[in-house]
Amino acid sequence: MSRIETRLHALGLALPEPLTGPDVTFNFKPVKVHAGVAYISGHGPFDGPNVLVQGIVGLDLTLEEGYEAAQLVALSILASLKQELGDLDRVTQWIRAVGYIYSEPGFGHNAAVLNGFSDLIVELWGDAGRHARSAPGQGPSPFNVPVIVDAIAAVE
Amino acid sequence: MSRIETRLHALGLALPEPLTGPDVTFNFKPVKVHAGVAYISGHGPFDGPNVLVQGIVGLDLTLEEGYEAAQLVALSILASLKQELGDLDRVTQWIRAVGYIYSEPGFGHNAAVLNGFSDLIVELWGDAGRHARSAPGQGPSPFNVPVIVDAIAAVE
Amino acid sequence: MSRIETRLHALGLALPEPLTGPDVTFNFKPVKVHAGVAYISGHGPFDGPNVLVQGIVGLDLTLEEGYEAAQLVALSILASLKQELGDLDRVTQWIRAVGYIYSEPGFGHNAAVLNGFSDLIVELWGDAGRHARSAPGQGPSPFNVPVIVDAIAAVE
């Protein structure tokens, strides 16, 4: 098993099924590789076509639940990367991520929610996992999920 | 005429005028090319400086009208690309797009709306048109349009 | 002193402290450089950990105050770039920026707000500062700031 997946399992985590459209044709690629860079589509907290978490952070969900949802997004992204690349060890650097947070007005803790994604990536890749990122608020979200993340990573 | 424009006309579609600011100085480039990649600014459903569609999807506009607006965004982007590159055939790969959807709370069909953009690009470019993408919800939008899209594409 | 900082001071502007987390661990890099490109994290109008402007444009803030906030965002980004690169003159081209605008429904002047960022970058870098950009609306924002911007720039 790959080095990254071994670490993932040591954390007690497992990959979900790769993202597929729940009730809509996804006419796009979950991951597109160009010139040594993997461009990763926006993922939510999905297991295959199943939406695992819905709701607005600060209203329906606590900050902690938002953090956990962002970790589930990371896992869905890793499943898509494994599907595209064959082996997660081919990801050599995480470059950039945008996490769009769907929250109640006045919530403001977008950065703490998105740490659910970033903490796992850094736990798995170490310093190579440290990325630039943004955590803007989003308006009404796709499938009413609390957070979606897109990212780019260097691959070999 | 270029191969891509020939296909566009065969679909009964035509390019609008390239994007210009309706009532504001656009102090930016609609397209900036760097190292073989075209970075495309956020476009709405515009014909030159004229906003073609306004409103909130799921409130003022149906899903189908949102889809059509996203197709108009694709056409505005193609007009800017032609202006910058001279010939749309210079675009060799569509890499990534972000479509920001302005919808009513609970709408959730962001992916289906953004297919109006993606379906046209894939229709025109075939497999090279298949891109990674995100469809986050946006808050109150520029010029009250239902959708804006930015993208990056490889060019020769 | 560097050429860019000399111009900045001639405009009567000064760099704030580089961005740090106000009340949250920022488990990410303000700037990550990969393959000659600096990927800049989302910045708000910050001076170190201090939030300089909060509120919703068109409700709590006027368009002009939103423009000024976007200029403060540019200054925070420049402070992070100087911290990462040592010298702002190493930035050779501004490629792309996304400015997420937190506004009242119906406001629509996102582009005019984001000009506060773009005008300063073009003032400092000239034609090399002209970038592609998007100005989507955002939902409830991190730290309730009116605007955050992320960007990418070519560096030598």
User: In the CATH scheme, what is the code of domain B3-155?
Assistant: 3.30.1330.40
pLDDT in tens, B49-76: 999 999 999 999 999 999 999 999 999 9
CATH node for A3-18+28-155: 3.30.1330.40
Residue A5: predicted pLDDT: 97
Give partners of B (≥3 CB pairs < 8 A): A, C
Lowest-pLDDT range of A44-53, B6-15, B21-30, B92-101:
B21-30
What's the rounded mean pLDDT across residues A46-63?
97
Specify the pLDDT at position B3.
96
pLDDT digits (tens, 9 = 90+) for C97-146: 999 999 999 999 999 999 999 999 999 999 999 999 999 999 999 999 99
pLDDT score recorded for residue A23 = 75
Averaged pLDDT of chain C: 96
- Work out the burial of residue A123: count CB atoms within 10 Å of its CB; fewer than 13 is exposed, 13-18 middle, 19 or more buried: middle
Torsion of CA A147, B106, B53, B100, to 10 degrees: 0
Interface mutation target, options A23, A31, A34, chain B, most CBs of B under 10 Å: A34
- How far B105 CA lies from chain A's nearest CA (Å)? 5
Q: Which residue in chain C is spatially nearest to A115 when comparing CA positions?
A: C27
ipTM given for this complex: 0.95
Check C29 against A132: CB less than 8 A apart. Answer: yes
For residue A47, what pLDDT band results from cuts at 50, 70 and 90? very high
Q: Which residue of B has its CA nearest to A55?
A: B106
pTM of the model: 0.97
**Which one, of B95, B91, B145, B147, lies nearest residue B116 by Cα?**
B147
CA distance A131 to C37: 13
Q: Which helix (H) or strand (E) holds C21?
A: none
Does the distance separating the beta carbons of C115 and B25 come in below 8 Å? yes
pLDDT tens track for A85-131: 999 999 999 999 999 999 999 999 999 999 999 999 999 999 999 99
C102 vs B: CB within 8 A: yes
